[in-house]
Amino acid sequence: MPRTDLLRPLPELLQAHAARSGDRTAYADSRRSATHGELAARTAITDAADR
């Protein structure tokens, strides 16, 4: 039986991580990095534009 209660949209997950640890690094490579808060803000803009 699938655990559909564990499946949530990416913007929702990013907002939850940003609320808990917005200043922590979520992604980094040799050229750039982004915090959880930055990713949530970028996703919110993209999500709103898609509507």
Q: Is residue 14 part of a domain?
A: yes
Residue 5 lies in a domain: no
Question: pTM higher than 0.75, yes or no?
Answer: no
Collapsing DSSP states into helix, strand and coil, what is residue 8?
coil
Is residue 27 situated within a structural domain?
no
CA neighbor of 23 nearest in space, from 10, 12, 33, 13: 33
Q: Tell me the per-residue pLDDT of 16-39, one tens digit each, with 9 for 90 and over.
A: 888 898 899 989 999 999 998 888
Nearest in space to 42 (alpha carbons), one of 1, 9, 14:
14
CA dihedral 8, 10, 15, 21 (to 10 degrees): 100
- Taking 60 as the threshold, does the pLDDT of residue 47 lie above it? no
* Total count of domains within the chain: 1
Give the model's pLDDT for residue 1. Answer: 60
Examine the pLDDT at 51 and tell me if it is beyond 70.
Answer: no
Q: What is the structure's pLDDT at 9?
A: 84
Q: Please report whether residue 24 resides in a domain.
A: no
Query: Which range marks the domain in which residue 15 is found?
Result: 10-19+34-51
pLDDT score at 25: 93
pLDDT at res. 22: 86
